[in-house]
Each structure stands twice: as structure tokens, then as C-alpha cells.
Chains A and B, each alone.
Chain A
């Protein structure tokens, strides 16, 4: 049987499709939009406009790169505050033009760097999370690889959250968890087991709505089925008013981790 840590290794594997692949293969006519209008353009977060069927979407992805060169350019999918601010700018734009938002999440976490901290990594994530709870258009987030903590949540406060069968979603990297608890990063497999970070765990805990089959690694079939799923999700969301969409999203997170009465 595949252990939790095997899932972590698969999610991080270099053979997997990355964020941009999902955008370009599922949507048509992608036009990338750059910059946070505050300080910089963060290549770890890619966003823009695209068509699905005959509906314009705002699409956002964390991109970690496919080869050494692009991985360095994309900072291995670890976003700076500018990446989160760009994403929020595009989501507000989506709200203005009444477009649905789809986010593809694949990050080991927000970048822990000096500049990132000085420019308010925590504040950027906090603002995204807070504003996303009340956005007046439908949001769908799909965890396609690693879902690392706050850096992933900053793009995953959505009406529905889906997970690919080999994706992970965790409050902390298992290595860091093992280091803190047992001062031994080698115990990461035990930590991974305890953290309940697989798609199945997240589904059982009510954190995600759906586990997406990866079609045995056939990427083209995966893209085709995701395109159909996203479209039917959007058709379902179209029935709600902007207020209902925001309220449903609030309720979705409101009921997570409500302690049972003693």
C-alpha cells in the first residue's frame, strides 16, 4: 500500500504536470496578465484570462517550473507577497467583470526569504484569505501537486476545493513537523502519516469536495475530464447570486473544525 509519504514524494515529483500545463491544456486562448501594481511581477504565480467553452474565466496557477532553468525562474513555486497580491488583483478584476475564478495550487509553501518577509508575506496571505471569503464570483481551487500551508490556502479559499488523487494538502511540511516534534527530519514518513495530508484524508475531514482521478497518468485524459468537470461546476454556480456565492463560501469554511460539544 502507498504510504502517506509516498504521496508526498509523488506530489513533489518532477514528472508531474505543473500549473501552467493545466491552464494551457484545459482552457483556450490564455492571455497572461502580469504584475501586482505594487512592486513587482512574481513569476511563481501565473494568472490571466482564458476561455472554457464560450465562457471567459480568470485563471491563476502557482507554477514551479519543469526544468532547472524554469524552476529557478519560478522560484520552485514558492511565491513572494507580490505573487499573492497579483492573484488578488486578478480576482478583484474577475469580480468586476463577473468572471468565475479557477486556481491551480502547487506549492511547498510561501517563500521564506528576507525580502518576502520585509514586504509582508503574512499580510499578503492574510489579505487574500480575507478578501476571498467574500468575493462575489464563484471560485474553484484545484490542488494539483503539493498544497503547502498558508502559501497554498492563499489561493484556496474557494466555493469548492478539489484535489488530484496524488496531491497533498498539509498545515506543515512533514520534514519540518518531524524536526519540531522529534528533532529528526528523517521521521518525516511518520509525520506525514499523522498529519493526514493525502487527498483521501482531506476528503474524509471535509476539507475538499472531490478527489480527481489522474487517469493512470494519462495527462490528456485528465485535462479533458477536468475541463468537463470545471464546466459543469460553473453551470451549477451560475444559479446563485453574488451574495449567495459569498455566503456559501463563508459557510463552507465556517463549519470546518467546529468542536463537538462535550
Chain B
């Protein structure tokens, strides 16, 4: 967009981005809608699916890991790795076994992260994508192990890593061993980094706790989705501890960017283009991949 366009008032509806399609009541009653927490409009689910789970106003709805892989990876290039690993109730933690079983059924995934290799814009990379629908992307031993294995895989093959994070933090049902995954994954990120390889992190809503305090904040380049909550401590805990109302925009990606902890905020439709451009800038010398987005 030209710079002067920022200062011009929109002349008509189309310049503003167009009106939301009016849905006739007789069709609407058959379709479930989701309400956008930002602009308040009711969006039919089919429209959400067609538009990368994004509202017209730019609000990003949560997205499961498979959809995100479809959005980012070139068609039919994703090969899953470590897909059969699944958590066990290692500490006999109350309710964990049932929770795992019911989550596996509802999320239709075995774990909260999906790893693999893919091409993005023609460039090969190792990819891990966390899933908000699997215990809010919490990191237990299997999540830690899969991400560590992926970085080791990437070191062996000299691949860049793209990691999409969404997490409530360490998985308390696996106790101290969950905490240890922060050190385990960080060690692998460090080795990958020391090998001169690129790691791009894409932080999505919410990225908090032990994931923020480890691999989410260790990217060479850290991207975030608009409006994502990014922080270490939970907002309720901060409020309780400080006994003050939180400032506007606290832990929002836009504020975190302002404080210097992110490289950029990238809207969903732009993500593949931006990541491709970054991979191109870091491609190994002498390699010339066919680029096509």
C-alpha cells in the first residue's frame, strides 16, 4: 500500500474492505456462527473455514495444527515424523489418564505437537506445529521429546526449523519432568543454532508459561499473529500478585512487539509469503530451489 493511503479516508465501502455478506435468515438458521471477540460480528463457520479462520476485521481464531500445516506447507509436501508417540500417565497423576483419553478423542490427535518435514514456497524445512485443542498445547515429556528430536533431525540434514507455538505452558500432570523439557528443548535449539541453522518461531494465541520461557523466545526470527497473547505469567496471577488492573494491551503481541521481543506481527494471509522470503534469504549457498508460492 502506498504511504499516502494511510492518511486518506476511505471513499466508499469497498475501500474499507467491503461489507460483510448478509446471510438470509432461512440459510442462516442451519449454519452455526462464531462471534468475533474483537468486532462482534457473527461469522458463519463455513466463512471462517474459507478464510483461514480469520475474521474480516483481522481477528485470528484458533486453528488446529493440521489446518495450520495446510496453510503453510506446500501442497502434499508434509511428511509427519514421530507421529505415533503418545504420553503416558508417568506419575499416576489424578485424572490424567482420563483426560488424555478424552482429549485424544476430541482433538483427534495423539499429542499437542505435530512434527515433520515439508516444503514452504519450495524451500525444505523441518516444521513443528502445536495444537491448541490438545490440552491447550501444554508441554509434557512427549511434546518436549518430539520437538527435541525434530531439532536433532534438522541438524543432521542441515534444515531450517519453523515452529508454530500455542501453549498454556508446561503440563503439570507430568510434574517436574515437564519442567525439564524446557531445558531439553533449549539444548537442542542451541545446538541447531550453533550449527549455523535458521530457526523461525511463529507465536500464536496463546503462547505462555514454560513454552515462552524456552523455545518460543529462542528463534533467530520471532513472528507473531495479530492479537496473540504472549507472556510468561498468567494474567490472573499477575493481577492477584500486583493487586492492580492490568494495563490495556498487556501481553498482546502488539505490546510485546513494542517492547522489543518480536521481529514482526504477520497477519495470517501474509504468513506463507513472509516465511518463504525468510527461508529464501537463508538458503544454503549454491542451492537454487524452484520457488513457487
Contact = CB atoms under 8 A, between A and B. Distances in A.
B170 to A, nearest CB: 5
Interface residues of B, number: 65
Contact of A257 (B84, B94, B184, B234): B184
Contacts, number: 183
Contact of B145 (A129, A134, A169, A259): A259
B293 interface: no
A51 to B, nearest CB: 29
Nearest to A156: B183
A150 B141 contact: no
Interface residues of A, number: 53
Contacts of A119: 259
Contact of A253 (B187, B237, B241): B187
Interface stretch (B5-13, B51-59, B72-80, B188-196): B188-196
Contact of B179 (A112, A134, A153): A153
Interface in B56-101: 84-88, 90-95
B186 A110 contact: no
Contact of A126 (B94, B188, B218, B237): B218
Nearest to B92: A194
B36 interface: no
Interface in B149-206: 170, 172, 174-184, 186-191, 194
A150 B213 contact: yes
Interface stretch (A25-33, A171-179, A223-231): A171-179
A116 B190 CA distance: 25
Contact of B212 (A122, A134, A181): A122
Nearest to A180: B172
B183 A157 contact: yes
A141 to B, nearest CB: 11
B233 interface: yes
A195 B175 CA distance: 5
B241 A112 contact: yes
A130 B213 CA distance: 10
B182 A129 contact: yes
B255 interface: yes
A149 interface: yes
Interface string A78-107: 000000000000000000000000000000
Nearest to A117: B231
B178 A171 contact: yes
Interface in B9-61: none
Given A112-B241, A149-B179, A253-B180, A194 B145 contact: no
Contacts of B178: 171, 257
Contacts of A116: 232-233
Contacts of A114: 238, 242, 244, 246-247, 250
16 contacts: A112-B242, A116-B233, A119-B259, A121-B213, A123-B261, A126-B217, A130-B218, A131-B190, A133-B186, A134-B190, A157-B186, A171-B172, A195-B175, A257-B141, A259-B145, A262-B84
